[in-house]
Amino acid sequence: MRVLAAVDGSRGSVVAAGYGALLASASGGGVLLAHVIEEQAPSASTELAALRRRSGEEALALARDFIQPFRVSVEERILTGPRAPALIAEAKASGCGLVAMGSRAVTQTIIGRLLTGSTALGVLDGAPAPVLLVPDRVADPSRQAEVRSLLVPTDGSRASLDAAELAAEIATLTRSRVLLLHCEEEPVPEGFAALAVSGADRERVLRGQESLGRLILHATQEPFLRRKQAVDLLHVTGTPAAEIVREAREKGFSLIVMGSYGAGEGFLRRKRLGSVAEAVLGTAPCPVIIHKHEPSRGGA
């Protein structure tokens, strides 16, 4: 696996490079460290240009030193242009199978974009490969990157099934334990609205939901069984993003691997980042790999 690690000197980007190096090393691949210098106005001084380049070289050196223990082949590039498009173009040109980067925050709101300048969201929109994101709040450069356990949420969507395929590959390479998690939202209304639903109807709905959940989990299990990889299955009821984050935090998972959108999300959400994936990225206690499946209208 060839990994593009986008570095900017932040803690998240350095640790993301470490995870990229770990996965590249385990698969016999290499790491491409990339730093982007945004184009400056023609009136900008040569001193400013030199300062930006020096800053980029320092960011590359920091990441290079951090991943050195993985003994993986490393290339370095300084790119110019808008950050997200430059990284996307380089990932495509270099044939990278994974993009690794830090993330301060990921949001699709206009205000959020203005506040964060979310390069991560831009890369998620157009990357030709899955994206591994390490939020600054969980990045710890004093600890070496390691993957011992994977949490793989699934709802049966194509995106989640593709993510499971990637997770099975990673689990095999890293000999990690795996938990497949399916979460159904409460199907029966609460409060006064619940009075219109009989106890028998409620039980019937819940049984149907549980049966569907088992089918989804067993379908998602297929790439792991193909590789003779043991997995645990868990079906819960609740708010999907909250349950994913809770499970990751309480059981100390190393990595979450999930699809970019859910089965019930509309076409525009599928084209970008779904609401569950966005919420998980905002509160996850560990790095997250987002696998984007390019949707068709009306498809799953």
Chain CA centroid to CA 208, Å: 31
Q: What pLDDT sits at residue 49?
A: 82
Q: What pLDDT sits at residue 136?
A: 87
Centre a 10 Å sphere on the Cβ of residue 131 and count the other Cβ atoms it contains.
26
**Residue 108 pLDDT exceeds 50:** no
Burial class (CB in 10 A: 0-12, 13-18, 19+), 82: middle
Q: What pLDDT sits at residue 116?
A: 36
Q: What pLDDT sits at residue 112?
A: 41
Q: What pLDDT sits at residue 297?
A: 45
- Indicate the fold that domain 149-291 takes in CATH: Rossmann fold (3.40.50)
Return residue ranges of the chain for CATH 3.40.50.620.
3-138, 149-291
Strands 3-6 and 30-37, bridge-based pairing: parallel
Give per-residue pLDDT as tens, 148-202: 999 999 999 999 999 999 999 999 999 999 999 999 887 655 554 555 555 665 5
Q: What pLDDT sits at residue 12?
A: 94
Tokens of 142: 């004093």
For the chain, the average pLDDT equals 85
**Residue 43 pLDDT exceeds 60:** yes
Choose which CATH entry (3.40.50.1100, 3.10.450.40, 3.80.10.10, 3.40.50.620) describes domain 3-138: 3.40.50.620
Q: What pLDDT sits at residue 269?
A: 44
Q: How many residues are given for the chain?
A: 300
Tokens of 101: 């980067």
- 136-145, 151-160, 258-267: which range is least confident on average? 258-267
Spell 256-267 as b/e; 16+ CB within 10 A means b: bbbbbbbbebee
Which secondary structure element, helix H or strand E, spans residue 5, and what is its range?
strand 3-6
Q: DSSP characters for 47-110?
A: HHHHHHHHHHHHHHHHHHHHHGGG--EEEEEEEESSHHHHHHHHHHHTT-SEEEEEES----SH
Mean pLDDT over 208-233 rounds to 90
Q: What pLDDT sits at residue 194?
A: 52
